[in-house]
Structure 1
Amino acid sequence: MTGHSMRAAIVTGPGVVEIDHVPLPTPGKGQVRVKLEGCGVCASNLTPWSGPEWMQFPTAAGSLGHEGWGTIDALGAEVTDLRVGDRVAALSYNAYAEQDLVDASAVVRLPEALGDQPFPGEPLGCAMNIHARADIHAGQTVAIIGIGFLGALLTQLAAKAGARVIAIGRRPFALDLARQFGAAETIPMDDHYAIIDQVRELTGGRFCDRVIEAVGMQWPLDLAAELTAVRGRLIVAGYHQDGPRQVNMQLWNWRGIDVVNAHERDPQAYIQGMRDALTAVEDGRIDPRALYTHRYPLDRLGEALDATRDRPDGFMKALICL
């Protein structure tokens, strides 16, 4: 980075990313500029990365990155409650870059106790919001389908809340991690009817008070409904943005289940989730450090996106570190 420019990632075509020097942005009224330490890589990046018909290239500098954290290095007009030097998590949208602009209302100040720990606030806040909307209590049986970064965090939260967690995932590594995070039972996600039979046996035929689907595909969504108890709650946390889904409305109706789409779109709901995540890290309800399994410099963003897509053995979450 020079005095008036910064490095930023620009996606120039399907699966192609370039790092370029672009003008250093100046914060406007009510904004701050964050010198980024890093940015998490989100699975939601994979669809635009693949180059669907609606995608336009090249992308804006740094775009797709929305899980950034770092230190404020410039303030815009009328920003009074933040200071240059504050370490923050930010809800910004061009964070695959050395610096990004963000509204002052969209940052969460990080305490010194976190030291130099990464804090991708948006996905951590997402986990907190899903957990809140799941309404999990001690004594409940909770099935979590899909033990990736999100599913692992939700396993921690549900177990710490006193629920009996049944973790269902396709990777032995992830199921081992779920046990470490408090899952009482783990089931390989391989055979649809075998999983239903196992959960039926584990619950004495009652099935689960809460089922969180955290995969984002048709089969896990079908499975989630089958595992939900009468008058239970099915929480859709998976990212279903690759086409329409079908649901077994006969089953949903017969069991009288509540279905919650746990995705938030209100920026202030995201920010509240980030604040809640910070509190949860501080009080020990979640510890995400073991989930940051792969780290890449900015000029290897393409590799990080490929790893997020291919999920090699031992993969949970990729971070771009600056």
Structure 2
Amino acid sequence: MDQRTDALSEAVIITGPGAIEVATRPKPKPGPGEALICLEGSGVCASNLTPWSGPDWMQFPTEPGGLGHEGWGVIEELGADVQGFSVGDRVAALSFHAYASHDVAPVANLVKLPEALADQPFPGEPLGCAMNIFRRAEIKPGQTVAIIGIGFLGALLTELAAGAGARVIAIARRPFALDIARNMGAAETLVMDDHWRLIEEVKRLTDGVFCDVVIEAVGKSWPLDLAAELTRERGRLVIAGYHQDGPRQINMQLWNWRGLDVINAHERDTAVYIDGIREAVQAVVEGHLTPASLYTHVFPLDKLDQALDMTRDRPDGFMKALVTP
């Protein structure tokens, strides 16, 4: 490869609702305390779907690589004043232009990937989210835990909760997702179809007590309403779904009467995200977290539009999309 070509990188620009183009540009340069990462891939996050649909507040075109934040790869270049990292280190990165062949991130936003994970995809941000949500849920052995929504995050939380000794009731609309939940350790699986039927079924499964912990991992109004109904008195309702499509009305009378502890499990402190990614690395190495089977579809970078559409449509057999340069 000649020097001119070697100095270039590729990045996806989202030009409008449902439309992309791939741009070639000079490689970004790392500043002090930063690293240039040659990306091996990025996960495709469901939080991208609202911007992808083109709401009024969305501005197009995006910055090159924009919306991508689940990247991993190899450090290619370091800026000044960097300690603890070397060129050639394989890392998970919390960066924000990861729909690209290269991205720059502060080294404080990097987590080294050990040799045990060599050649394995590692979208650090969602794996770290799962660990942080699991910590906030405070699940204990012997508890009954309902998880509403078995996408990538819900499947990981099912495995973590079951591994902690909880009895997991997994609730999802797709039979494929319920099969995944059973493989991840769910004791019971229920189709998410009718609100009142589900309440009665969980009531029956819990001898009328309902669940110690309920994790809502959908990000829609109805599953949030259902989650409150399934949480026992003095139980813990954990909001893990990403609610980005407007206000919510909740049944505060029910929340008050049952004395629910309501936890919004979304973190905003970068250091907490990074701690979660570190915990995820350890959990995967030790076999407590096994995400490999959940990466069901891999697309080249120039097919990001197809990956986003599939993430939106969630056909049978789909769980998580990755894009690779």
Q: Distance in 2 between matches of 1:108 and 1:309?
A: 29
Q: Distance in 1 between matches of 2:183 and 2:98?
A: 32
Say yes or no: does 1:295 pair with 2:298: yes
Say yes or no: does 1:104 pair with 2:107: yes
Question: What does the per-residue CA deviation read over 1:47-94, in whole Å, with 9 as the maximum and x for residues that have no partner?
Answer: 111111111111100000000000000000000210000000000000
| Correspondence for 2:81 among 73, 78, 82 | 78
User: Which residue does 2:267 correspond to in 1?
Assistant: 264
User: Which residue does 1:158 correspond to in 2?
Assistant: 161
Q: What SS is found at the alignment partner of 2:6?
A: coil
Letter in 2 for 1:220: P
| Correspondence for 2:59 among 32, 56, 60 | 56
Summarize the alignment of residues 1-322 of structure 1 with structure 2, pairs less than 5 Å apart: 2-322=5-325
Q: Distance in 2 between matches of 1:182 and 1:55?
A: 39
State the 1:222 CA deviation. 0.4
Q: Distance in 1 between matches of 2:22 and 2:234?
A: 52
Letter in 1 for 2:166: A
Question: What does the per-residue CA deviation read over 1:191-225, in whole Å, with 9 as the maximum and x for residues that have no partner?
Answer: 11110011001000000000000000000000000
Letter in 2 for 1:310: D
Q: Distance in 1 between matches of 2:249 and 2:198?
A: 20
**Structure 1 runs, 4 residues or longer, greater than 2 Å off:** none
Q: What SS is found at the alignment partner of 1:272?
A: helix
Q: Distance in 2 between matches of 1:81 and 1:133?
A: 29
State the 1:35 CA deviation. 0.1
Q: What SS is found at the alignment partner of 1:74?
A: strand
Question: What does the per-residue CA deviation read over 1:239-262, in whole Å, with 9 as the maximum and x for residues that have no partner?
Answer: 101100011000000000100000
* Structure 2: segments with no counterpart, 5+ residues: none
Q: What SS is found at the alignment partner of 1:64?
A: coil
* Structure 1: segments with no counterpart, 5+ residues: none
TM-score, L = length of structure 2 = 0.98
Q: Distance in 1 between matches of 2:19 and 2:39?
A: 23
Letter in 1 for 2:286: D
TM-score, L = length of structure 1 = 0.99
Letter in 1 for 2:195: H
Q: Distance in 2 between matches of 1:14 and 1:198?
A: 40
Q: Distance in 2 between matches of 1:11 and 1:114?
A: 31
Q: Distance in 2 between matches of 1:59 and 1:174?
A: 32
Q: Distance in 2 between matches of 1:187 and 1:79?
A: 50
Q: Distance in 2 between matches of 1:303 and 1:21?
A: 20
Letter in 1 for 2:138: D
State the 1:4 CA deviation. 2.1
Question: What does the per-residue CA deviation read over 1:150-178, in whole Å, with 9 as the maximum and x for residues that have no partner?
Answer: 00000000000000000000000110111
Q: Distance in 1 between matches of 2:209 and 2:200?
A: 11
Q: Distance in 2 between matches of 1:207 and 1:140?
A: 11
**Cα RMSD, aligned residues only:** 0.7
Question: What does the per-residue CA deviation read over 1:75-131, in whole Å, with 9 as the maximum and x for residues that have no partner?
Answer: 000002100000000000000000000001100000001120000000000000000
